[in-house]
Amino acid sequence: MASGPELERALREEELDVAVVDVRLPPTFTDEGLQAALAARRERPGLPVLVLSQHVEQLYARELLADGSGAVGYLLKDRVLNADQFIDAVRRVAAGGTVMDPEVIAKLLGGRRRDDPLAALTPRERDVLALMAEGASNAAIAGRLCVSESAVGKHSASIFGKLGIGASDDTNRRVLAVLAYLDGTAARDPDRP
């Protein structure tokens, strides 16, 4: 696309499996690509969007994850050197998953407060949640941590419980847990006091 407005129009009108979007587009080369993607997702909730950026911008990652519907990714351009990893990220986002570059996650966690609501998580639960935030499936998490998928499922259930994220047909608990992880504040279940 030649500009942010053209991209926004295409994202609204075209039937896409996934959109791979550069944050910076003409005319100002600031954040037109991201803004076009966010606007299109407001009109078409769940529109799969994988954003590529030159730098880690905490606000961009938070904005992408804010609606909690998944099907988003944020990768750094200079770290997308491996074609297989990039294709895997595109497929995960197209399938409704969330993919975050590990460097983005590290930057977001750098500003964590001392009254961290995630403090109740065990080190292993934090490991599982960090890999969730990178977009890893339960099978991938199990492989990386050398545990069974069943163990990952149990850790995930414990994470959801400790963060107060109940089961719901309207929300994706993994996305809410990742948001809690990135924000440093526990997501609240609307049915809980």
Nearest-5° angle of CA 114, CA 117, CA 118? 100
Which tokens hold the place of 193? Answer: 């006091």
Size of the chain, expressed as the number of residues it contains? 193
pLDDT digits (tens, 9 = 90+) for 21-42: 998 888 888 888 888 888 888 8
Tell the residue number behind the tokens 């983005």, with chain if given.
104
CA atoms within 13 A on the CB side of 169: 0
Are the C-beta atoms of residues 118 and 159 closer than 8 Å to each other? no
Q: What is the mean pLDDT of residues 145-170?
A: 86
The yes/no answer on whether domain 112-193 falls in CATH 3.30.559.10 is: no
What residues does CATH 3.40.50.2300 cover in the chain?
1-103
Residue 115 and residue 35: Cα distance in Å, rounded? 32
Write down the pLDDT at residue 110: 59
CB neighbour burial string for 105-126, b if at least 16 within 10 angstroms, e if fewer: bebbbeeeeeeebbeebeeebb
Choose among 4, 91, 106, 6: nearest CA to 48: 91
Give the mean pLDDT of the chain.
81
What residues does CATH 1.10.10.10 cover in the chain?
112-193
Write down the pLDDT at residue 138: 92
CATH of domain 1-103: 3.40.50.2300
Are the C-beta atoms of residues 63 and 17 closer than 8 Å to each other? no
Q: What is the mean pLDDT of residues 44-56?
A: 88
Per-residue pLDDT for 62 more than 80?
Answer: no
